[in-house]
Amino acid sequence: MTTSSYDIKDLGLAEEGRKRMEWAEQEMPVLRLIRERFEKERPLAGIRISACLHVTTETGNLMRALAAGGADVVLAASNPLSTQDDVAAALVAYEEIPVYAIKGESNEVYYQHIKAALDHNPQITMDDGADLVSGILKDRKDLIESMIGSTEETTTGVIRLKAMAAEGVLPFPVIAVNDSDTKHMFDNRYGTGQSTLDGVIRATNVLLAGKTFVVAGYGWCSRGIAERAHGLGANVIVTEIDPIKALEAVMDGYRVMPMEQAAPLADFIVTATGNKHVIDSNTFAVVKDGCVIANSGHFNVEINIPALEQMAVTKKQPRRFVDQYVLPDGRQINLLGEGRLINLASAEGHPSAVMDMSFANQALASEYLLKNRDSLGVGVHALPKNLDQEIAALKLRAMGMTIDVLTPEQELYLNSWQEGT
Ligand code: ADE
């Protein structure tokens, strides 16, 4: 491969990346089975796939599975701060997969990398946040004709794609991988739960027990964060705008209140709402001295960082991934990971065992798009239930568990309305 066909930090990191990808793969039995089948059946033979995903060990294993299926794959980062540079190097050096991703890249380089992924002339795009699809709509409409479709990993991406569909500008089918039960119920809850706490702890090394931990939002991601923060002994407060989710949080045992009341009590505030300016100047005005603020939502808009920059008189960096802002009244606010998703900025993202299911969905979604290219209409689709269930069944089997099956009598009962008391 020529050096112009990739842009990574250091090829010399490849050996470390290969070892870490192998380590991760031990926890990814479902994706491994799919890779082995893909190797035999080559269902993606010759198909150009451009992926824009967090470049992690788990993504590295997904790229290997797609390449084993015969796809011609390139990979760009889906966030400037989430790339694991050793994985990028290993994919280039050992798998001959072009990668465009450098941890800490500027916004300008980030978009150059997206452009490079689109210059691959994809037939399938695989997004985490819909940046490739929006790049096609904004700058590369010429690609639409040869596109088979796209797959989307995350809640925020699915929201963007549904907005495109509602406006009538989405030009091809998209599989919303996030809508599979084996994705959002596990990756978003257990993955974000564990990895966000991991990110906060690695960035700060601060004890959580006995502290007040405010979680903004109570969707699948934020409920995972709340659960794990509670598990570490923190007093958790939830803020919400949806009355049903707020009620759920109350019944799960958390205090619920508006952010303006929660902020003065908080030692930590973590956002995972998918919305912008959830933490704004009115929050900075009331937080207590030393408060730690982080985001685990997809985009770095949840915390109004420009407002904080304006309010602060000084800014220091006491540790990696911690920016300490001092306000005119002397209060210090510790912002983690520049407000980018903290689980990938200061930790390693979701653990492999949970990404196993997310990326099994991604691999099967690309195969499904291809097989059903003539019947799938323009729009945002979920993967069929049987594939979702197959992933869960394979995961259970890999975990050494078996479950009951319906008896013929029970099946009949479930399909009839005549039996009653
Ligand atoms: N999103 C969250 N965690 C991730 C991981 N480990 N790999 C890829 N994408 C992720």
Q: 298: Cβ below 6 Å to ligand 1?
A: no
Give me ligand 1 centre to Cα 393, in Å.
22
Judged by DSSP in three states, 152 sits in strand
CA dihedral sign of residues 347, 351, 357, 363 = positive
Q: Would you tell me the crossing angle of helices 352-371 and 57-68 to the nearest 10 degrees?
A: 30
The pLDDT value recorded for residue 2 is 72
Nearest to 200 by CA among 213, 188, 189: 213
Nearest to 254 by CA among 292, 287, 225, 280: 225
Q: 59: Cβ below 6 Å to ligand 1?
A: yes
Indicate the top mutation candidate among 350, 352, 357 to test ligand 1's pocket, ranked by most ligand atoms within 8 A of CB.
350
Task: Please count the other Cβ atoms lying within 10 Å of the Cβ belonging to residue 25.
Answer: 19
Superfamily of domain 11-183+350-398: Adenosylhomocysteinase-like (3.40.50.1480)
pLDDT in tens, the chain (421 residues): 777 789 999 999 999 999 999 999 999 999 999 999 999 999 999 999 999 999 999 999 999 999 999 999 999 999 999 999 999 999 999 999 999 999 999 999 999 999 999 999 999 999 999 999 999 999 999 999 999 999 999 999 999 999 999 999 999 999 999 999 999 999 999 999 999 999 999 999 999 999 999 999 999 999 999 999 999 999 999 999 999 999 999 999 999 999 999 999 999 999 999 999 999 999 999 999 999 999 999 999 999 999 999 999 999 999 999 999 999 999 999 999 999 999 999 999 999 999 999 999 999 999 999 999 999 999 999 999 999 999 999 999 999 999 999 999 999 999 998 888 8
Model-wide pTM > 0.85: yes
Q: 224: Cβ below 6 Å to ligand 1?
A: no
The pLDDT value recorded for residue 421 is 80
Q: 127: Cβ below 6 Å to ligand 1?
A: no
The pLDDT value recorded for residue 14 is 98
Nearest to 17 by CA among 80, 75, 79, 78: 75
- Looking at domain 192-345, its CATH class is alpha beta
User: Given phi > 0 = left and psi -120 to 50 = alpha, else beta, which region is 277?
Assistant: left
The pLDDT value recorded for residue 419 is 85
Nearest to 208 by CA among 235, 237, 227: 235
Give me ligand 1 centre to Cα 358, in Å.
9
288 to each of 165, 292, 308, 395, how far by Cα in Å? 43, 9, 14, 44
**Phi, then psi, of 246 in degrees rounded to 5:** -60, -40
Nearest to 84 by CA among 35, 20, 157: 20
* Fold matches, 11-183+350-398 and 192-345: yes
DSSP letter assigned to residue 29:
H
Q: Where do the domains of the chain lie?
A: 11-183+350-398, 192-345
